[in-house]
Structure 1
Amino acid sequence: MNMKNKILLLVCLLGMNVPMIGQTIKSSIHPIQYKQYDKVEIDIEVVQKFDNPYMQEEIALDMLITTPSQKEQILPCYFVSKKSNNLSCWKARYTPQESGIYQYKIQLIKSGTKKDTSKVESFEVNKSAEPGFLHTKSNWILVFDNGQPFRGIGENICWESRDNDDSKFFKKLHEKSERYNYDYLLTEFAKNGGNFFRTWICSWNLPIDYEGPFNNSRYTKSDEFYNPDALARMDYLIELSEELNLYIMLTLGQGGYLIKERGVVNTAEDFFVDKQARAWYKNRLRYIVARWGYSTSIAMWEFINEVDNIQFRNSNNPIDSKFIVDWHDEMSTYIKQIDPYRHIVTTSISHRDIEGLNSIENMDINQKHIYNKTSSIPTEIERYVQEFGKPYIIGEFGREWDWSKNFDDFSHEMDIDFKRGLWYGLFSPTPVTPMSWWWEYFDARGMTPYFRAVREISDRMLAAGNGSFEPLSIEVENVDVFGVKCGKEIFVYLFNPEHSTLVIDINIPITEHQKYKVQAMDPTMLVIKDALEINNASSFITLKGITLGAEKEVVYILTPSLE
């Protein structure tokens, strides 16, 4: 995907005088050719008095769009600057999903009442080969607008370096700002096969609505309603992700909701319960959708990280689950209403289920985090998928969560766990592989190139089955084994958890009498070798005499022979 083409439909600059006699809203279009999934950026001038342009209860601008197929869309616009007491600049960022002639107009709403509408403008969009936005499709895959299947090969890259990191043993490593920034981390991740990452809006990273101090010298305190440094950094992150063909689970968080952060309430419980706090959060969502919702690199909006930990922050008086579920129901319904692209919506728990949270209609994907139990990932995914009928993601996993421990004391276990989690996810019904934590640590240990093997097998699975996955039941003593059939190809993953070498036979169930070519991949060395050709004489294919070293793994690919 190329960087979005920036298209200016009206220049709104300080010092440029645009006659607006008799007009409240002005918008015009230049005769430029556009393509599907280009960013169409519309600058708008409005003559209207207001105090706070970030509160839709006072003032709001919407772009009303009629697509070539006559579909009606409403896109929120966002405030840019004031030119005078009455004249202000706003912006709409829109991505056309269809080719053909579009019509649009800008609508002004004041105090909840429609006040004025601009004249109708039009622009033309030519067809492109870009795949579009991601949506849920099945438990195994996501799908682009054009029908192309997608599986995320994911990692947490939740923030850039902090000035003062709280890790007991890896403080100096984590504070390397010249290395642990989006430019380095995302470029290396994409270069090595990664295509999906999770990142946070929080008080030290992309702190769009926090008071500060930020513990991050990339951001300076500001009296602006939204922090200019954070907004610019988010703009850059989106553009960089588009250049690298990376897709984002953007964790929105609670934001600076506390009164001490210029928010509106004093407690976490009030954040979920108080009507003013909910209205405040909706205005925050509106701004986020208006400014960044245009990007096809935004795969998912994640409301809150580990909401159960917020619930039990005061263990003696936890927040009532009903408040949390009701909040998510209201916010997921609202963001679906204002987001014309219908981005995927999710939230996450640490380890405590919240009754009702997994069953909310407008929450597209459920997720949890798993530490010290990586072997449970396949059964946990299967259990939640079966119980709630929605795709399930392991948003974080790892050998250890406790940052007061020295991971170097068990670094070998950390590495093995990192590898296993990826493969357990790839062979399970989840659209994104489990995402490892501790991105700085694993980068320093040289683990990032390991994603290449997982991506290669994932791409082969998608190419073979066009997104279809049929789990295979394979049993081998003392070995972790998983198998899937994609189209006519069969994929088998084996991991030996023992501390000694094993020699094993495996039986792979099949339904067709077919001659297969067998290849074996060493994921660490990224070497694929032809193994053997076999004929099945019954309902099984048997691979005999497989030698698997201690804590080693192998992936077998069985392809129907053309001979």
Structure 2
Amino acid sequence: MKLSVSILFVLFSFTLQSQNSLKATLKFPGGEGVKKFEKAEIGVNLPTEIKNQVDAFLGDSTIGINPYDSWAIDLTSEWISPSGKTQKVNGFFYQDYRRKTDKKWSPIQTENNWLLRWSPNEAGDWTIKTTLNTTGKSWVSQPITFSCIEGDSKGYLTVNPAKPNGNKMLYLAESEEPFFALGHNIAHGGHGYVKPIYADHQKQWLTELAESKGNFWRFEFGMNNYLPSGYDCKNYTEKLAPFCDLDDIIDLSDRLDLQFIAFRHHVEMQTGQSWEKVRWDKNGYVQQLKLPKRIDYFTSPEALKWQKNELRYIMARWGYSKSFNFFGYSELEGWVGPLSREEGISEIEALAIFNKWFSDQRSYIENELEMDRMLFANTFSLSRLSDQSRKMSPELRGLYDTFSSSDIVGYHSYGRAKNTNLRTVPKYAKYFKEHWDKPTILEEVGLNLPHMYCATDNNFMTTIWSSSFYGDFGCGMHYWWDRGIHYNNFQKLYEPLSNFMARIDYTKPFENYNDYDKSIKRSRIAYYSTVFPESNEVYGYLTDPSHFWLNMTAENEKLDQYLNDGAMKNPCMMTDGHELGKPLVNENAGNAENEKDAYTDKARVTPMTAENYGSETIKIEGLEKAGLFGKKKSYTIEYYNPRDPLLGVLKTETIKAKRNGSLKLTLDKSNWPAAAFYVKEE
């Protein structure tokens, strides 16, 4: 009898101890081990008394422990690598969901409501020690170990000025090779509040991007989709379902070996009618903290506390991903402009407030969260800058401090005007590199006439090809039209561009040149090039810069309808019900001075002929010059079809350069209206 009582007491004590212990187990992956730079996931069971208090909060947010409040409940871990280095990894609250319909989710039984995620970067045995701290109490789990094995991942992206062209290019951490970005914005899967079907769109588009040899995309942490604070800055429960879809999206990005920028949108500070669902007064911080003014968002201790809490959740849940390389803020003038007007201060003064706030956020991510491999990207829009001025505006110069604390410089430009696309964008790209001496990227670009994308892919093709020779670390990234790009299969144009760019050795010194100095009204060939002076080689792209920069002929029926009637009879219908090419009156098309030229009529495009091209001289700077008495050099030029994945040769010719190194290119209709080209010395 005494023995039975003793056994029962031991069993009771063991059960009680088990219920009040912290237990961590390896959830993913099983089998042979975790591969380098791939996700390892640890499931954690909390002590029963703490779990019950969390459950109480989820039922009634006025009681219990808020699982999203890292000051009330702090689950953290130390990952010890085979070499003895340590990495802090924070835990996060998790609830699993399944699709109920294309518009709704429903919660399902979840094995572990707390997870730890990281991607180990060393092969060998890792040890994980997990700790839980709540008010006045602490628990430590038994250490767990797992093996990390070599894989084929090239790792995450790095900025390394010590590398060849390190002030221009990004590098892959594991392979240490230059990375040239090809892709566009796949910011969200549809307008309005997030739905399960939108995640399907994003996954489909990422798959199609990878199949077309794209490797880079840009993603929005928006108030109406995946930003934790979108509805409530203290309680993320309403976002848990779409978070599960974002888990899948980021895991897919990892498997497809895609890299991405995650950005916060300037509309969080603004009040535009087109952003009714995501504007300032709907901001989760305004709603819950009752912030009276925008300056309180940047300076209030309570707001700053919950902003850090949100950053912690984002980095804990998704910071493991080798695809997740950049975090930043889009179009700074949209963040500081409303602050400037509301406070009656200059934008430079507003930028100083933003700069301090951003620097503190970066320091928190790098030091307290130990995410020092995360890169940061802030961007500016060129829309308010003078197209004609060669000097940057005071507002742009005032961004120096912010860009100095960013790892890359991003810029945005939209416009149908010929001077915007032909001259302004590459001009500023050159300035950014010279002024900040760090990698740059045209993060958003496109016509502000979306209807054109319903008529032709020529502008998309010309944009991605020409911008690949601005000297940025990647091609220009189309924005608003991620749906239109994939709906019309424009993404397939990345494959020939990828195959062409793969021929370029970015470890050798290079410079970039184009013809933005030429008269807009008389330019008949626009060219963009990357010159390697040591080997006397040039890679580039040339195109017909005709009206609307579209390389279009008057025979295009949809374009003809739009230009003459102000509407398309059959707009393209997107999968989320949005019309691309819906009626829009455009009575002034072609009348603006910056849209005119010497050889097209109002709102029309004159097809370019061999005679037109033959009269144009392209001066390729950077090649070796003959000098006054030297022998003129001869060059072989190959022209390639930019639509052909095999880069079929359109024409080969040998040209003797002028003494100043300029080459006069003569093209026939088989090359029209665009061609990639390669120049090498005979």
TM-score above 0.5: yes
Deviation at 1:178, TM superposition (A): 8.6
Q: Which residue of 1 aligns with 2:119?
A: 95
Does the C-alpha gap of structure 1 residues 78 and 179 become closer, same or farther in structure 2, counting only changes over 3 Å? closer
Query: What SS is found at the alignment partner of 2:74?
Result: strand
1: CA distance between counterparts of 2:356 and 2:222?
23
Does the C-alpha gap of structure 1 residues 103 and 180 become closer, same or farther in structure 2, counting only changes over 3 Å? closer
- Match 2:158 to one of 113, 129, 135: 135
- Match 2:470 to one of 402, 406, 428: 428
Structure 2 gap segments, 5+ residues each: 1-13, 54-64, 97-110, 161-165, 269-277, 385-394, 547-605, 626-630
User: Does the 8 Å contact 2:624/2:661 carry over to 1?
Assistant: no
Deviation at 1:280, TM superposition (A): 0.7
Query: What SS is found at the alignment partner of 1:434?
Result: coil
Counterpart code for 2:483: E
Q: Does 1:106 align with 2:148?
A: no
Query: Which stretch shifts more, 23-32 or 240-249?
Result: 23-32
User: Does the 8 Å contact 1:374/1:398 carry over to 2?
Assistant: no
Query: What SS is found at the alignment partner of 1:128?
Result: coil
Deviation at 1:248, TM superposition (A): 1.7
Does the C-alpha gap of structure 1 residues 533 and 81 become closer, same or farther in structure 2, counting only changes over 3 Å? closer
Query: What SS is found at the alignment partner of 2:145?
Result: strand
Deviation at 1:457, TM superposition (A): 2.0
Q: Does 1:340 align with 2:371?
A: yes
Q: Which residue of 2 aligns with 1:524?
A: 643
Does the C-alpha gap of structure 1 residues 362 and 119 become closer, same or farther in structure 2, counting only changes over 3 Å? farther
Flag the structure with larger Rg.
Answer: 2
Counterpart code for 1:197: W
Counterparts of 1:49-128 in structure 2, within 5 Å, are 49=50, 51-80=65-94, 89-110=113-134, 115-128=138-151
Q: Which residue of 2 aligns with 1:454?
A: 497
1: CA distance between counterparts of 2:656 and 2:254?
46
Deviation at 1:186, TM superposition (A): 2.3
Deviation at 1:511, TM superposition (A): 4.8
1: CA distance between counterparts of 2:613 and 2:41?
60
Q: Does 1:370 align with 2:417?
A: no
User: Does the 8 Å contact 1:75/1:92 carry over to 2?
Assistant: yes
2: CA distance between counterparts of 1:552 and 1:322?
47
Counterparts of 1:73-472 in structure 2, within 5 Å, are 73-80=87-94, 89-110=113-134, 115-137=138-160, 138-146=166-174, 147-162=176-191, 181-206=201-226, 208-211=228-231, 225=237, 227-253=239-265, 257-258=283-284, 261-262=287-288, 265-302=291-328, 304-313=329-338, 316-317=341-342, 320-337=350-367, 338-340=369-371, 342-351=373-382, 353=395, 357-360=399-402, 362-372=405-415, 373-375=420-422, 376-400=424-448, 407-408=450-451, 415-437=457-479, 438-461=481-504, 465-471=505-511
1: CA distance between counterparts of 2:201 and 2:248?
12
Deviation at 1:545, TM superposition (A): 4.5
2: CA distance between counterparts of 1:326 and 1:163?
32
2: CA distance between counterparts of 1:472 and 1:536?
22
Deviations 1:6-34 (A, max 9, x none): xxxxxxxxxxx987449643335588523
Q: Which residue of 2 aligns with 1:35?
A: 35
User: Does the 8 Å contact 2:38/2:322 carry over to 1?
Assistant: no
Counterpart code for 1:312: G
User: Does the 8 Å contact 1:37/1:96 carry over to 2?
Assistant: yes
User: Does the 8 Å contact 1:377/1:421 carry over to 2?
Assistant: no
User: Does the 8 Å contact 2:308/2:364 carry over to 1?
Assistant: yes
1: CA distance between counterparts of 2:540 and 2:95?
57
Query: What SS is found at the alignment partner of 1:200?
Result: strand
Deviation at 1:247, TM superposition (A): 1.8
Counterpart code for 2:528: F
Counterpart code for 1:271: Y
Does the C-alpha gap of structure 1 residues 294 and 180 become closer, same or farther in structure 2, counting only changes over 3 Å? closer
User: Does the 8 Å contact 1:497/1:551 carry over to 2?
Assistant: no
Q: TM-score, normalised by structure 2?
A: 0.66
Deviations 1:66-90 (A, max 9, x none): 22232222111112379xxxx9842
Q: Does 1:546 align with 2:666?
A: yes
Q: Which residue of 1 aligns with 2:529?
A: 483
2: CA distance between counterparts of 1:505 and 1:260?
58
Deviation at 1:309, TM superposition (A): 1.8
Query: What SS is found at the alignment partner of 1:227?
Result: helix
Deviation at 1:288, TM superposition (A): 0.9
Deviation at 1:458, TM superposition (A): 2.0
2: CA distance between counterparts of 1:101 and 1:439?
42
Query: What SS is found at the alignment partner of 1:181?
Result: helix
User: Does the 8 Å contact 2:469/2:512 carry over to 1?
Assistant: no
Q: Does 1:502 align with 2:514?
A: no
Does the C-alpha gap of structure 1 residues 81 and 410 become closer, same or farther in structure 2, counting only changes over 3 Å? closer
Structure 1 gap segments, 5+ residues each: 1-16, 166-174, 213-221, 401-405
Deviation at 1:130, TM superposition (A): 1.1
Deviation at 1:53, TM superposition (A): 2.5
Q: TM-score, normalised by structure 1?
A: 0.78
Counterpart code for 2:204: Y
Does the C-alpha gap of structure 1 residues 541 and 519 become closer, same or farther in structure 2, counting only changes over 3 Å? farther
Does the C-alpha gap of structure 1 residues 409 and 75 become closer, same or farther in structure 2, counting only changes over 3 Å? closer
2: CA distance between counterparts of 1:32 and 1:179?
31
Deviation at 1:316, TM superposition (A): 4.1
1: CA distance between counterparts of 2:256 and 2:401?
34
2: CA distance between counterparts of 1:121 and 1:444?
47
Higher strand share: 1
Q: CA RMSD in A?
A: 4.0
Counterpart code for 1:145: A
1: CA distance between counterparts of 2:317 and 2:407?
22
Counterpart code for 1:101: D
2: CA distance between counterparts of 1:272 and 1:99?
42
Query: Which stretch shifts more, 39-48 or 469-478?
Result: 469-478
Counterpart code for 2:171: V
Does the C-alpha gap of structure 1 residues 75 and 530 become closer, same or farther in structure 2, counting only changes over 3 Å? same
Deviations 1:107-151 (A, max 9, x none): 33445x994443443322222221111112434321111212211
Counterpart code for 2:294: A
2: CA distance between counterparts of 1:127 and 1:294?
17
2: CA distance between counterparts of 1:117 and 1:178?
40
Does the C-alpha gap of structure 1 residues 93 and 553 become closer, same or farther in structure 2, counting only changes over 3 Å? same
Q: Does 1:556 align with 2:677?
A: yes
Deviation at 1:45, TM superposition (A): 2.5
User: Does the 8 Å contact 2:185/2:482 carry over to 1?
Assistant: yes
2: CA distance between counterparts of 1:507 and 1:441?
36
User: Does the 8 Å contact 1:301/1:344 carry over to 2?
Assistant: yes
Q: Alignment identity in percent?
A: 21
